Amino acid sequence: MKHLLTCAALLGGLLGCAAEPSKLQHERSYVLEWIGERPLIDNSHLTLTLADDGRAYGTAGCNHWFASYTQNGERLSFGQVGKTRKLCAPALMEQEERYLKALQSVQRWDVSSIEQIRLWPAEGKPLRFWAEED
């Protein structure tokens, strides 16, 4: 019985380590895969970078975007988002609008069991990102 409890504790410890969240890294680019319940349009490239100086920026599929951000542990929020003014196909513009609107409602972040960064809005499903390959 003692051996069984030791094994259970060891296994629980290992599983707990594997599920612990990674750190949301500054000065690293993340590539968006999903906005809430919807995947991205094929070949669109939406990104997020959190600079050390409190600025966030990236590409929104058509335009470049920028905003201030505040992070305190798991809490994360973005200020008013600005962007360049290029026009693209209507579907890309709609996706860009959903992305930027979702960013402005983010309240917290975490890391999924598959090491995907998730930014959680006040309501609904998260924005899901992968760390960009170096």
**pLDDT value for 25:** 85
Quick one: average pLDDT of 9-20?
41
Q: What CATH number corresponds to the domain at position 112?
A: 2.40.128.270
**Number of residues in the chain:** 134
Q: What is the mean pLDDT of residues 7-34?
A: 62
Pick from 90, 65, 61: nearest CA to 78: 65
**Which of the four pLDDT bands, split at 50, 70 and 90, describes residue 32?**
very high
**Count of domains in the chain?**
1
Alpha-carbon distance of 122 to 81, in angstroms, equals 17
pTM: 0.79
pLDDT tens digits for 76-122?
999 999 999 999 999 999 999 999 999 999 999 999 999 899 999 98
pLDDT at 24: 81
pLDDT in the model for residue 20? 40
